[in-house]
Amino acid sequence: MLLGGMLFAQSWFDGDHPEEQRIRALADQIYGAVDWTWITPRAPFLSMGWHPESGFIPSDWNIYNEGMLMYLLALGSPTHPLPPSTWGALTEKFEPSWRGDHLHYPPMFVHQYSHVWVDFRDIRDAYIATKGIDYFENSKRATIAQRDYAIANAGGFAGYGPDIWGLTACDGPGDFKATIGGRAREFFSYSERGPGARDDGTLAPTAAVGSIVFAPDLVIPTITAMHDRYGRGIYGKYGFFDAFNPTLTEMGEPLKHGRIVPGVGWVDIDYLGIDQGPIVAMIENWRTGLVWNTMRRNPHIRRGLDRAGFTGGWLARVP
């Protein structure tokens, strides 16, 4: 995400002023310094982490998740690229995530983060072409599935419905169990949440709002309903707080995060940049396409998409 932001700045500051030239040069310098080939102890996949004391951790980026942008950056590197075959090896791992009409991953951020920078509308790689859709449509279907899950509300959580929905990785009240309304509940602190995974009634506005580009007809009423129904309890100076939980209305256990807000329930007290960023960027992509249109001009992004085998749509046009 840091490198994505740098390449956006590189393409945004495209003038002849010396400071803008310096921004472009610094972006190239930093991006070119990344040795992607070193981060593959179990080639062809990128490792998910490294510690100076113990080396690489045992996990790799090797399933359908938010790592698509990272692999495009690795393929597009002008200095230390991964081979083009890497993308095919990655997408071979996607099939277990296919759920009949879209690639499923429980938290919504997976379906959003790469799309902040890359306009996947009408461009396809070999894998997604076999499904008859593109990755943008895949994220749209994941968005609809999240809303449908909230409408069904099999867990009986407070607030869930057609205009109140959205599960992703976020803060939570803490790690404890409680009986609420005669029903045993288990709550979590920071955790991934989503359909088919953990769900303790904790909603994250970014899960819905970050999907505004995929389904504005569903998201805009949700933004309005969240703000109107829960008001300043979940919304402050910098926008929505990270998360809230209308099911947890009393503090029976010590909270790890947040506080109980009367009339609302549990509310986090933090704003997380990893949430606010997609909210702002995706709203702008929906409004004007600004981030997408800027990144379309970036030669490194285009090179990565080309080496991954993406074709069609805007890629067929000269930047």
Burial label, 251 (beta-carbon count in 10 A; 0-12, 13-18, 19+): middle
Does the pTM surpass 0.75? The reply is yes
Q: How many residues make up the chain in this entry? A: 319
pLDDT (mean) for 188-199: 96
Decide: 48 and 58 in contact? Cβ < 8 Å: no
**In this structure, which amino acid lies at residue 220?**
I
pLDDT digits (tens, 9 = 90+) for 123-155: 999 999 999 999 999 999 999 999 999 999 999
How far apart CA 67 and CA 60 sit, in angstroms, is 10
| Cross-strand pairs, 11 | none
pLDDT tens digits for 245-288? 999 999 878 999 999 999 999 999 999 999 899 999 999 999 99
Classify residue 35 by burial, with Cβ atoms within 10 Å: 0-12, 13-18, 19+.
exposed
pLDDT > 90 fraction of the chain, expressed in percent and rounded: 96
